[in-house]
């Protein structure tokens, strides 16, 4: 088999989606197997970059010409997983992006309220229901709401968020923005519990302890919760705040990942509230 035919055969023999087939070939001055083994080891350390080559095989063939010994090394490399997108540089003020992962057109906002319907998009239209991700530098707070005048679903951001679909305001839904230095007044007077994951379905604002939900429509119903800044809430699987309890100081879009679980809360205890 010719070298080109061998290369084609090797490179088309991939059997796993999570590995990459790699072939290297070169000329060594000798076909002494001990010397070839040393050379092969040296080559395989860099065949997969920073990762370790697996399933390595090697072949050699003395050349009829005085060039030396022809060597082929074949290895599988674990396929590198793509790194999460990192936005370049820093931002000096809260910045809205049209797409997820801080991509697309960027809108920089100064302090105060902003009705997004009044801000034109460079390519036409306006910024209402156009925001997919946000970057917020230290010391700032950005509030996005789904309705004009700070109404509807509102989420506060004090850092970068690459996927607004993970927030209460949701992706491509913001209609209003409020920008401030430091914390903003709470968007909600009290913690808010929801019947579905992702802050969906009916909701209940909880300003005080509820010792026992048994017999009511909210027993074993709560699946997510909004916890405004300064609040600490215990959601407990049993009445009277009995364990197991999930202690929450921030929003939880899926209580199934907490110790109390989804649709399991039977009591709610307010552990701390803003002073």
Q: What is the pLDDT of residue 87?
A: 64
Question: Is 210 in contact with 238 (CB distance < 8 Å)?
Answer: no
Q: Are residues 146 and 197 in the same domain?
A: no
Within a domain: 162: yes
Tokens of residue 65, six digits = 């010409």
Residue 160 belongs to what domain range? Answer: 95-181
Q: Are residues 101 and 74 in the same domain?
A: no
Within a domain: 90: no
pLDDT digits (tens, 9 = 90+) for 185-241: 888 899 999 999 999 999 999 999 999 999 999 999 999 999 988 899 999 999 999
Q: What is the pLDDT of residue 48?
A: 79
Q: Are residues 147 and 174 in the same domain?
A: yes
Domain boundary among 155, 181, 207: 181
Q: Are residues 202 and 241 in the same domain?
A: yes
Distances (CA, A) of 55 to 22, 52, 58, 78: 11, 10, 10, 11
Within a domain: 89: no
Is the predicted pLDDT of residue 46 greater than 50, yes or no? yes
pTM (2 d.p.): 0.63
Mean pLDDT confidence for 246-273: 93
Q: Are residues 170 and 110 in the same domain?
A: yes
How many structural domains is the chain composed of?
3
Within a domain: 215: yes
Within a domain: 144: yes
Q: Are residues 258 and 200 in the same domain?
A: yes
Tokens of residue 146, six digits = 């789904």
Q: Are residues 159 and 203 in the same domain?
A: no
Domain boundary among 181, 205, 239: 181
CATH of the domain at 163: 2.60.20.10
Specify burial of residue 181 (Cβ count, 10 A radius: 0-12, 13-18, 19+).
exposed
Domain boundary among 125, 147, 181: 181
Within a domain: 233: yes
Within a domain: 49: yes
Tokens of residue 7, six digits = 């290369």
User: b/e for 216-233, b at 16 or more Cβ within 10 A?
Assistant: eebbebbbbbbbbeebeb
Q: Are residues 102 and 156 in the same domain?
A: yes
pLDDT digits (tens, 9 = 90+) for 53-112: 777 888 888 765 567 888 888 888 877 655 556 666 789 999 999 999 999 999 999 999
pLDDT digits (tens, 9 = 90+) for 109-156: 999 999 999 999 988 899 999 999 999 999 999 999 999 999 999 999
Q: What is the pLDDT of residue 45?
A: 79
Within a domain: 86: no
Residue 261: band (very low, low, confident or very high) from pLDDT cuts 50, 70, 90: very high
Specify burial of residue 248 (Cβ count, 10 A radius: 0-12, 13-18, 19+).
buried
Instruction: Give the full edge-to-edge strand order of the sheet including 151-157.
Output: 112-115, 176-181, 140-147, 151-157
Q: Are residues 177 and 196 in the same domain?
A: no
pLDDT digits (tens, 9 = 90+) for 164-178: 998 999 999 999 999
């Amino acid at each position: 088999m010719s070298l080109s035919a061998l290369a084609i055969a090797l490179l088309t023999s991939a059997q796993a989606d999570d590995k990459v087939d790699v072939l290297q070939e070169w000329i060594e001055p000798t076909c002494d197997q001990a010397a070839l083994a040393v050379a092969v080891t040296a080559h395989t350390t860099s065949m997969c970059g920073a990762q370790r080559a697996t399933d390595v095989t090697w072949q050699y063939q003395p050349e009829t010409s005085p060039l030396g010994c022809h060597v082929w090394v074949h290895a599988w490399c674990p396929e590198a997983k793509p790194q999460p997108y990192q936005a370049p540089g820093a931002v000096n003020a809260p910045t809205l992006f049209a797409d997820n992962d801080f991509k697309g057109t960027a809108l920089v906002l100064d302090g105060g309220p902003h009705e997004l319907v009044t801000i034109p998009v460079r390519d036409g239209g306006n910024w209402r229901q156009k925001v997919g991700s946000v970057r917020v530098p230290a010391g700032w707070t950005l509030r996005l709401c789904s309705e004009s005048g700070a109404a509807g679903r509102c989420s506060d951001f004090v850092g970068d968020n690459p996927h607004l679909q993970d927030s209460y305001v949701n992706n491509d839904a913001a209609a209003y923005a409020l920008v401030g230095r430091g914390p903003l007044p709470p968007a909600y007077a009290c913690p808010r519990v929801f019947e579905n994951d992702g802050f969906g379905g009916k909701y209940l604002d909880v300003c005080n302890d509820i010792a026992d939900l048994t017999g009511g429509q909210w027993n074993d119903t709560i699946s997510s919760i909004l916890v405004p800044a300064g609040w600490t809430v215990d959601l407990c699987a049993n009445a009277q705040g009995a364990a197991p309890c999930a202690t929450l100081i921030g929003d939880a879009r899926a209580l199934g990942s907490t110790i109390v679980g989804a649709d399991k809360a039977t009591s709610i205890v307010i552990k701390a509230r803003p002073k």
